[in-house]
Chain A
């Protein structure tokens, strides 16, 4: 949900740049809160639409009708939908995501336990896709039609068409089975430590390659746009060295990839679902899949709320960052 105003219109009303920016930030923040609320409401409705409620699942097959209704009263499921909705919103706002039906402990504890693996893989993947994507895009865009550009184009096309999990298979076959550099499956036996995080390099690369391709494509397009602008021609005709021109182009064009990077960063928390399955990692993705299979709805809901909140939050931050890093967006 986006509420946008035109900064130009506001300037005409005699506002200073500072006021325009703070007004923009305020509107973005309000829009963030509304989006989050809408999404939490959707999650609430979706969870109520799933077959079977928590009481029937906890009771199991041999629970009598009276046991189930007692359980339902205990869980507050016998109250009206609006009443449940209010409780849900206030619980979520206080960070209370309920209790796992299968593990019989708070969902928040489950999430905290499984988070480190996912966060490690996701952040490694993000860094790889950032560096690889921006690097490829910049180098390809600076010399369009050149050999490097052609190779980069082929790479991004193939990378986008590769099935993520199959690419993971190939990496396992080559680096774990043939070369024996990495473990085939799972976490290091001593647990996840900083020193052992290289164990997670293969899953991180699997995630990073298609994302890097997307970043590279957008970065290349932005660089191409920037290359044809007047100040670049002026700089060239003044005899500025090519790398100095390239630096100007880079600093003006690469911030344009922030929204895409935010989408990818925000999506990585659940983007690991498939990869965790391929590499046998016990992260958030494995947690939500297991919870779907076991109908452990509070956990499904918990992971969803976490993932969606992070997704919306990161995108909101990216909007703000773009305005902060790019003064042109404030004036034009």
Chain B
């Protein structure tokens, strides 16, 4: 089985588990149960319970919903922001192109995680703020990709031919150039999603991302940090879920790059 397919199957399994979380675990991921605190893994609690007696499996699955939605929304935002402006810059050229390129270059001069941290902090922390910060911080890469792809495609003969047949510049861009490189962007989209899953987890771990009591993989792991030496199971389960989800996107990205390389 090639890597892209393996990644897709792994992702679908994790996503289904997250969607059907309530049916799968049967425990409330948020309500504390003080009689069941610090229970080690058993048949009733497959991954044990945390300091408030909540089922770790239930919290991992529910956390997956939040983490996946956050990472995928941020990926969509960064693709839209960087991609659309990249096409616009390449399509219009001139002053627009220069100004946009300079703005995104300046963003690239920040170390990535610091930029995300500062944006989240200035917006005050929280789920929506995390999505926006990652969307902004990821956009320069997509801007550059979309800009250079568009410039290359616009020089291609088939686009010139379309122009000679009377297609407007807008039509050349949207009907001919853009559809031709979208496939190549998918590689970057998948690896960005993999990275954003980890960034969301890091931010929530630092207490700046998804606020408690809503579980996300990051803040569930933050909870587990305090009891790491005595109740290690609370850290293992959610970490394995998070790593597998990130791995699934990484596999998709690598697999698709291999396919594109082979084709060219």
Determine if B111 and A266 form an interchain contact, defined as CB atoms under 8 angstroms apart: yes
Contact of A70 with B by CB under 8 A = no
Min C-beta distance of A2 to chain B, whole Å: 7
B247 and chain A: residue at smallest CB distance: A161
Contact of A155 with B by CB under 8 A = no
Knowing A165-B205, A278-B225 are in contact, say whether A1-B242 is a contact too (CB < 8 A): no
Knowing A35-B106, A157-B251 are in contact, say whether A292-B113 is a contact too (CB < 8 A): no
Determine if B113 and A270 form an interchain contact, defined as CB atoms under 8 angstroms apart: yes
Contact of A144 with B by CB under 8 A = no
Contact of A173 with B by CB under 8 A = yes
Contacts of B254 in A (CB 8 A): 157
Main SS of chain A's interface residues? helix
Contacts of A172 in B (CB 8 A): 228-229
Query: Once the chains are docked, how many angstroms separate the CA of A49 from the CA of B124?
Result: 12
Min C-beta distance of B250 to chain A, whole Å: 5
Query: Once the chains are docked, how many angstroms separate the CA of A267 from the CA of B114?
Result: 9
Contact of B4 with A by CB under 8 A = no
Contact of A38 among B109, B111, B229, B251 (CB under 8 A): B109
Stretch at the interface among A186-194, A227-235, A303-311: A303-311
A315 and chain B: residue at smallest CB distance: B109
Please indicate which of the listed interface residues A38, A160, A289, A312 has the most CB atoms of chain B within 10 Å of its own CB: A160
Min C-beta distance of A286 to chain B, whole Å: 11
Knowing A266-B111, A307-B114 are in contact, say whether A158-B247 is a contact too (CB < 8 A): yes
Query: Once the chains are docked, how many angstroms separate the CA of A166 from the CA of B63?
Result: 15
Min C-beta distance of A102 to chain B, whole Å: 15
Determine if A165 and B194 form an interchain contact, defined as CB atoms under 8 angstroms apart: no
Contacts of B132 in A (CB 8 A): none
Please indicate which of the listed interface residues A38, A163, A170 has the most CB atoms of chain B within 10 Å of its own CB: A163
B201 and chain A: residue at smallest CB distance: A163
Min C-beta distance of B123 to chain A, whole Å: 9
Determine if A161 and B194 form an interchain contact, defined as CB atoms under 8 angstroms apart: yes
A293-332, CB < 8 A from B:
300, 304, 307-308, 311-312
B212-240, CB < 8 A from A:
217, 221, 224-225, 228-229, 232, 235, 239
Determine if B109 and A311 form an interchain contact, defined as CB atoms under 8 angstroms apart: yes
Contacts of A273 in B (CB 8 A): 113-114, 117, 206
A47 and chain B: residue at smallest CB distance: B122
Contacts of B229 in A (CB 8 A): 172-173, 177, 184
Contacts of B106 in A (CB 8 A): 1, 35, 38-39, 42
Contact of A271 with B by CB under 8 A = yes
Contact of A166 among B112, B118, B243 (CB under 8 A): B243
Query: Once the chains are docked, how many angstroms separate the CA of A2 from the CA of B104?
Result: 12
Contact of A267 among B113, B224, B244 (CB under 8 A): B113
Query: Once the chains are docked, how many angstroms separate the CA of A51 from the CA of B254?
Result: 42
Contact of A269 with B by CB under 8 A = yes
Query: Once the chains are docked, how many angstroms separate the CA of A173 from the CA of B225?
Result: 11
Contacts of B111 in A (CB 8 A): 266-267, 269-271, 307-308, 311
Contact of A27 with B by CB under 8 A = no
Knowing A39-B110, A270-B113, A273-B117 are in contact, say whether A157-B228 is a contact too (CB < 8 A): no
Determine if B243 and A267 form an interchain contact, defined as CB atoms under 8 angstroms apart: no
19 contacts between A and B (CB under 8 A): A1-B102, A1-B109, A38-B102, A39-B109, A157-B251, A164-B202, A166-B201, A166-B221, A169-B221, A169-B228, A169-B235, A184-B229, A266-B111, A267-B111, A270-B117, A292-B121, A308-B114, A311-B109, A311-B111
- Given contacts A163-B221, A166-B221, A173-B232, list 15 more A-B pairs with CB under 8 A: A49-B122, A50-B121, A50-B122, A157-B251, A161-B249, A163-B198, A169-B225, A173-B229, A177-B229, A267-B113, A269-B111, A278-B225, A289-B206, A292-B121, A304-B114
Q: Give the A-binding residues of B (Cβ under 8 A).
A: 102, 105-106, 109-114, 117-118, 121-122, 124, 194, 198, 201-202, 205-206, 208, 217, 221, 224-225, 228-229, 232, 235, 239, 242-244, 246-247, 249-251, 254
